Amino acid sequence: MESRKEEFEATCNLFINSVNNYFKHLTEIDSNIRVPYLKEANGLLLKDYTGMIAISGSRKGFVYISANREMFGDLIHMFIGIDDPSDEDILDMAGEISNVVAGNVRANLGANFMISVPIVFEGMPKELKIPENVSIYVIPIQWNNHEAFVVLGLE
Amino acid sequence: MMIEGNINKQQDPKSNWLLNLDKIEDKTRRNYFSGLPPEHTLLDFFTYAFVINKPKGRVGGDGFWLHERGDDVYLALFTCVGEGHLAHMMIRIYMNALKRMVNEYAIDYPGSILQFVHGEVQSRFNNKNNILLNTNANIGIVKVNLITKEMSFAGANMNLIQAARDGVRVIEGEKRQVGDTGASKTAYSSIALTDTDTSSFYLCSSGVYNLIGGTSFKKLNMAEFSQHLATIQRYPVSSQKEHVEEFLADWTGSNRQNDDILVIGFTP
């Protein structure tokens, strides 16, 4: 049986690979993964827009993808050809990337490991409460001169 | 902008803290529903009307539009190809095309409105190569004169169901979608309807006919759905929404809803 640490790392890798594949195949621009690191629950990193996915089943937690408006704007320009995206477009792009990444990961996870439809938000919602016993793993990503975070938290 | 260190800590780690995520409002879902006319506004124009809008995910690729001009009201239902957030973006593009039609051109006939929208979307995406978005949509649009109850309909890969005294009729739209950037110049005809003051009408997104279920575990077809609409005509119009919702839920059963659903029913 996999240890908790190995399971945690395997889950992180699933999300890293899913994000990498998303950028590589859909934008044809590779993303670079910076050195991942552990962080305390009270010091989460959030950029302008975030798509957050709840994890339930045998492990409880979350994963989110957070980036600034400019990155989502570039993706919209590439995917849809819109040069002047509205705030609604930006939020939808954050939802779209989170959905695709979550969907790819869902296909690779066991039946006891379930992930939700992403919740998309802007800034820091006051309802976001994370217990202290959650391990937070931050994966900084560089794509097309933009920085994004994939952050995984598991009990 | 980057925000750090403002997360609220939850004191009891054993409580189901994931439930908190459900308390966070999904802004895309809010935008989706707030971008559509509220159901009650249909009652300003019709004797009775209902809207059943159930996106498969947090947002959907189905939308509708309502516009009053003089004694006429226009109601359009559209299904953008694809699903989820990208289809939701296309809804706004179609809504903006309709707004532009209203503000700058004031076109009268439903068929001409479809033709205009087709041209708008085509020109917007012309020469945009390699986009991932499918720009096509199915649209049904009705024009109703609020005084005389005269009605006309045009459809782009969408039909209108009319439940009249003598049974249910399917008013067929053109088989072509709007917004196909590869399509040549496209015309849509406007169809004048009869018996409008004694009928109820139904517009449905294509997702209704993608619902898998029933006793044979197959897609719902238009004949089966129309038959159901015929049977509920004996009930008061105010209870029709409930009957349609029950029918769709029974059809789907324990199967997962596999597409966005939008149904609009109205009695002129």
Parallel/antiparallel/unpaired status of strands B72-80 and B137-145: antiparallel
Residue B117: which H helix or E strand, with range? helix B110-125
The yes-or-no verdict on residue A69 having pLDDT over 90 is: yes
Dump strand ranges (E) for B81-199.
Answer: 137-145, 151-156, 160-164, 167-171, 191-193
The yes-or-no verdict on residue B11 having pLDDT over 60 is: no
Does some domain include residue B243? yes
Higher pLDDT, A104 or A91: A91
Over residues A103-107, the mean pLDDT reads 80
Contacts of B136 in chain A (CB under 8 A): none
Does some domain include residue B38? yes
Residue of B12, B28, B132 lying closest to A120 (CB–CB): B28
Q: How many domains does chain B have?
A: 1
pLDDT confidence bin for B184, thresholds 50/70/90:
low
Q: Measure the CA–CA gap between B34 and B38, rounded to whole angstroms.
A: 8
Tell me the sheet residues that pair with B201. B162, B266
The correct answer on CATH 3.40.1550.10 for the domain covering A4-154 is yes
Minimum CA–CA partner of A68 in chain B: B1
Over residues A110-120, the mean pLDDT reads 79
- Categorise residue B84: left if φ over 0, alpha if ψ from -120 to 50, beta otherwise: left
Contacts of A119 in chain B (CB under 8 A): 21, 24, 26, 58
For residue B211, give the 3-state DSSP assignment: coil
Contacts of A81 in chain B (CB under 8 A): 125, 128, 131
Cα-Cα-Cα-Cα dihedral sign, residues B255, B259, B260, B261: negative
Most A-contacting residue of B3, B85, B95, B123 (CB-CB within 10 A), to test interface: B85
Parallel/antiparallel/unpaired status of strands B8-10 and A129-131: parallel
Higher pLDDT, B182 or B84: B84
Q: So what's the pLDDT on residue B103?
A: 84
Question: CB-based contact (8 Å) between B119 and chain A?
Answer: no
The yes-or-no verdict on residue A5 having pLDDT over 80 is: no
pTM: 0.88
Work out the percent of chain B whose per-residue pLDDT is above 90. 71
Most B-contacting residue of A79, A119, A135, A146 (CB-CB within 10 A), to test interface: A119
Residue of B8, B20, B89 lying closest to A89 (CB–CB): B89
| Backbone φ, ψ for residue B209 (5° rounding) | -90, 5
Question: CB-based contact (8 Å) between B31 and chain A?
Answer: yes
pLDDT confidence bin for B237, thresholds 50/70/90:
confident
- Segment B57-106, tens digit of pLDDT: 889 999 999 999 999 999 999 999 988 899 999 999 999 999 899 888 98
Please, what's the b/e burial string for B32-49 (b: 16 or more CB within 10 A of its CB; e: otherwise)?
beeebeeeeebeebbebb
- Segment B214-224, tens digit of pLDDT: 888 999 999 99
Q: Which of A46, A79, A81, A42 is nearest to A64 (CA)?
A: A46
Over residues B139-152, the mean pLDDT reads 97
Residue of B5, B8, B132 lying closest to A129 (CB–CB): B8
Q: Mean pLDDT across chain A, nearest whole number?
A: 86
User: Which B-chain residues 120-139 have CB contacts (< 8 A) with chain A?
Assistant: 125, 128, 130-133
Q: So what's the pLDDT on residue B49?
A: 95
Minimum CA–CA partner of A47 in chain B: B2
pLDDT confidence bin for B111, thresholds 50/70/90:
very high
The yes-or-no verdict on residue A126 having pLDDT over 70 is: yes
Torsion of CA A17, A73, A50, B1, to 10 degrees: 120
* The most confident of A4-18, B17-31, B92-106, by mean pLDDT: B92-106
Q: Which of B61, B71, B77 is nearest to B141 (CA)?
A: B77
Over residues B134-151, the mean pLDDT reads 95
Q: Which of B207, B203, B179 is nearest to B193 (CA)?
A: B203
Q: So what's the pLDDT on residue A43?
A: 66
Question: CB-based contact (8 Å) between B43 and chain A?
Answer: no
Most A-contacting residue of B11, B14, B17 (CB-CB within 10 A), to test interface: B17
Over residues A13-38, the mean pLDDT reads 89
Residue of A56, A120, A129 lying closest to B26 (CB–CB): A120
Give, in order, the Cα–Cα distances in Å from B37 to each of A26, A83, A92, B41, B200.
34, 27, 20, 7, 20
Region of poorest pLDDT, from A52-56, A106-110, B31-35, B231-235: A106-110
For residue B146, give its domain range. 27-267
For residue B37, give the 3-state DSSP assignment: coil
Q: Do B58 and A120 touch (CB under 8 A)?
A: yes
Q: How many CB atoms lie within 10 A of CB B104?
A: 9
Q: Measure the CA–CA gap between B59 and B32, rounded to whole angstroms.
A: 6
Question: CB-based contact (8 Å) between B181 and chain A?
Answer: no
DSSP letter string over A46-67? E-SEEEEEEEEESS-EEEEEEE
Q: So what's the pLDDT on residue B13?
A: 44
Query: DSSP character for B41?
Result: G
* CATH code of the domain covering residue B191: 3.60.40.10
Q: How far is A37 from chain B (nearest CA, A)?
A: 15
Residue of A88, A93, A132 lying closest to B31 (CB–CB): A88
Interface size between A and B, measured as CB pairs under 8 A: 135
Does some domain include residue B237? yes
Region of poorest pLDDT, from A72-81, B19-28, B66-75, B100-109: B19-28
